Amino acid sequence: MISIGIVDDHKMFLDGLISVLSNEPDFEIMFAEHKAKNALLKIKEGQPDIVITDISMPEMNGIEFIKILKKDFPEVKILVVSMFDNMQSLKDINGFLLKETDKRRLIDAISGIVLRNESHFNGAASSQSVLEFNKSILSKREKEIIELIAKEYTTDEIALRLAVSKNTIETHRKNIFFKLRVKNIAGLIHKAVHLGVIK
């Protein structure tokens, strides 16, 4: 059973989400709130597996809410569902969908994020916000490794240059490929150039 918390100040959309998700036998809605502050109080009483939140909300916006949520409840997954695809950089989310997304995609995203630790980002949202998100989740060491891969250094050479083991570099490579959602070196270089990690 996947437990869900929902935060959205638009009653019609909130009611729609409740209706859709309540019909899923493997989903349980723990709370549905119009205000982020109220949602934080509910989460203190019991943490859901995932929180679905908007960005534009009164009193406390989604950006502030996400920062507090990840600081105080780091285990909770976060899926942003918004009508805006030009959001600020979001470092701590597991997915982003536009509000126009169909319900099957939403259900699949929730299951993927919670059960398989996946990231789900709407194709239409491949805007600067998502690019900034992808860039921001790379560590300083991962960026160093990407730069060395781009210069055609081998795994052994990178390990020697950074004074770490070959296994450590292999682990970093796997994490980089996962974070940037690429399958090979060509895809990695293309994405890294696009993100500005390498020039």
Token pair belonging to 124? 């239409």
Percent of the chain residues topping a pLDDT of 70? 87
Residue 126 has a pLDDT of 38
Predicted TM-score (pTM) of this structure? 0.61
> CA triplet 86, 88, 66: central angle to 5 degrees?
125
Residue 199 has a pLDDT of 67
Q: What is the 3-state secondary structure (H, E, C) of the chain?
A: CEEEEEECCCHHHHHHHHHHHHCCCCEEEEEEECCHHHHHHHHHHCCCCEEEECCCCCCCCHHHHHHHHHHHCCCCEEEEEECCCCCCCCCCCCEEEECCCCHHHHHHHHHHHHHHCCCEECHHHCCHHHHHHHHHCCCHHHHHHHHHHHCCCCHHHHHHHHCCCHHHHHHHHHHHHHHHCCCCHHHHHHHHHHHCCCC
Residues 55-93 pLDDT 10s: 878 788 888 899 899 999 999 999 999 876 544 446 678
In this predicted structure, the answer to whether residue 137 has a pLDDT above a threshold of 90 is: no
Using CA atoms in the order 174, 180, 185, 186, what is the torsion angle rounded to 10 degrees? Answer: 170
In this predicted structure, the answer to whether residue 111 has a pLDDT above a threshold of 50 is: yes
Do residues 78 and 94 lie in contact, with contact meaning Cβ atoms separated by under 8 Å? yes
Residue 123 has a pLDDT of 44
Bridge partner residues of 80 (DSSP): 53, 96
Residue 144 has a pLDDT of 93
Which carries the bigger pLDDT value, residue 137 or residue 171? 171
Instruction: Determine phi and psi for 121, rounding to 5 degrees.
Output: -125, 130
Q: Model confidence at 114, in pLDDT bands (50, 70, 90)?
A: very high
Residues 123-134 pLDDT 10s: 433 334 444 445
Distance CA 43, CA 65 (A): 12
Residue 129 has a pLDDT of 45
In this predicted structure, the answer to whether residue 195 has a pLDDT above a threshold of 80 is: no
Q: Model confidence at 136, in pLDDT bands (50, 70, 90)?
A: low
Distance CA 35, CA 56 (A): 11
